[in-house]
Amino acid sequence: MSRYAAALDFGSSKVALAVGEKTSAGIKIVSYHDTPAAGIECGEIVNDFKVEEIVRRLISQAEAELQEEIGEVTVGLSGRILHSKELPCLINRTDPKAYITEEEVRQITRGRYNATLEGGDTVFEAVPQKYSTEERFGINHDELIGMVGGTIEATFKIFYGKRAILDRRTTILNDCGLKMNKAILAPIASARAVLSKPEMENGVALVDIGKSSTEVAIIKDNIVREVAIIPFGGESVTVDIKNVANITNQWAETIKVMHGRCCEEFAVENKKLILKNENDVEDGEVEISLLARVIEARMSEIFDAVRYVIDQSGYASKITSGIVITGGGCHLDNIIQLASALLGQRIRLAAPQGSIDSSSVEDAFDVYASTAVGLVLEAIEPMLSHAIEYKKEAVAQAAAKQEDSTLFEEEEEEPVDERISAREERERRKEEERRAKELRKQEEKERKARERAEKKKQPSFFDMLFSDSDKDNA
């Protein structure tokens, strides 16, 4: 079994692969690579072939760097359509006198992933909010373990969406000879990477401003209370600049990054940016104050949506640690001043810092790496996510079908086929596909040959006509 944990972040602006390991000093990110995204829109895969090519390239880079094969990965889930609701459940225990165990509680959580939802939706994350027994009400996970009782009442917050978001990632991984370890909501992963332990305990809102969306996660008492995805981000700002200034998208993105401010009052008045191409030909001009006005308007809209999510969650007065902003969109000047004025909370900008070992690769400390780094952290030491491990879930389902009288079973040793290296598995699949293709060609060739032979045996219309004439003459 590899000592490394690998994670893939399918973002709209980039696809990132991070690999980490647990050391005596903490979790160290030993490899990080990303590449501009292709075939992904708003966190959803729309072109499987392009994304598969990116994944293969990133995996090859990491394997060459580590001199070790990567067989499974944890993936991030995002998309514009994400819903949440509370889901209560009551469990009757077979032995009221037996101590409630960690595995028993984990099995209750796994069961929530099988919840029946309308419209073909699936549960992405089931987060227990509180538990109750006959004697105690509203207790947390740590208090529950070791208690006794005939029933356990639990309240879960489930986050769900389109099954296709998960299925397309699974298919791409399988085509690349990879297996999925876990699928974790991207906002939860980002929160794990950039939030401090005191913030997660006292209450905090994480805001990750990406290219196509802004993701929000609210954490209190180390429990994810709400996750929401707002359907606009940094790209919306770029498009507004492009349309108002009548310039190209490339110029709009460039001047946003280099000269953009979130507050018009801090912009230099009566100053213009003259845009010239590589041939020193003027492509347009933009007033600095106009640029700031456009950015302020769109960023204000984003923060208004963030405030709405926080207010609707019921935790507006409980996030005493304020709001932490990460992601590529947090680089804009004066973003703290604008966010503070609109949200009425303490604001700080954050990137993966204290959550990973200081000897990690340099790129892992950038705000763009927040989600990928958080996925690695949650894969090695789960803290915020309760995502199921798909391999263990498959074993658990197989054990349940055997109707064994025991409540829990030891996981069986993996079959030999499961230990075949990723590269050998890819080569084996290619060979099987080649043989199957050759077999289909041979079968098609034989079928056509049989059809030609049958046609030769059957008399034609003219043969039958002349045959009947011959009989009449006779």
Tell me if 128 is assigned to some domain.
no
Q: pLDDT digit string (tens) for 63-101?
A: 999 999 999 999 999 877 789 999 999 999 999 999 999
pLDDT on residue 411: 37
Flag whether 343 is in a domain: yes
Q: Is residue 389 part of a domain?
A: no
The reported pLDDT for the residue numbered 412 is 37
Q: Name the least confident of 144-153, 235-244, 265-274, 311-320.
A: 265-274
469 or 3, which is more confident? 3
Is residue 314 one of the residues assigned to a domain?
A: yes
Beta bridge partners of 33: 17
Give the pLDDT confidence of 350-378 residue by residue, as tens digits.
Answer: 999 889 999 999 999 999 999 999 999 99
Across the chain, mean pLDDT equals 86
Question: Residue 304: which domain range?
Answer: 199-349
The first and second tokens of residue 244, run together, are: 């108002």
**Residue 135 domain-assigned (yes or no):** no
pLDDT confidence band for 473 (50 / 70 / 90): very low
For the chain, what is the domain count? Answer: 1
CATH label of the domain that carries residue 339: 3.30.420.40
295 assigned to some structural domain: yes
* Residue 64, domain member (yes or no): no
With respect to residue 401, please indicate whether it lies within any of the assigned structural domains. Answer: no
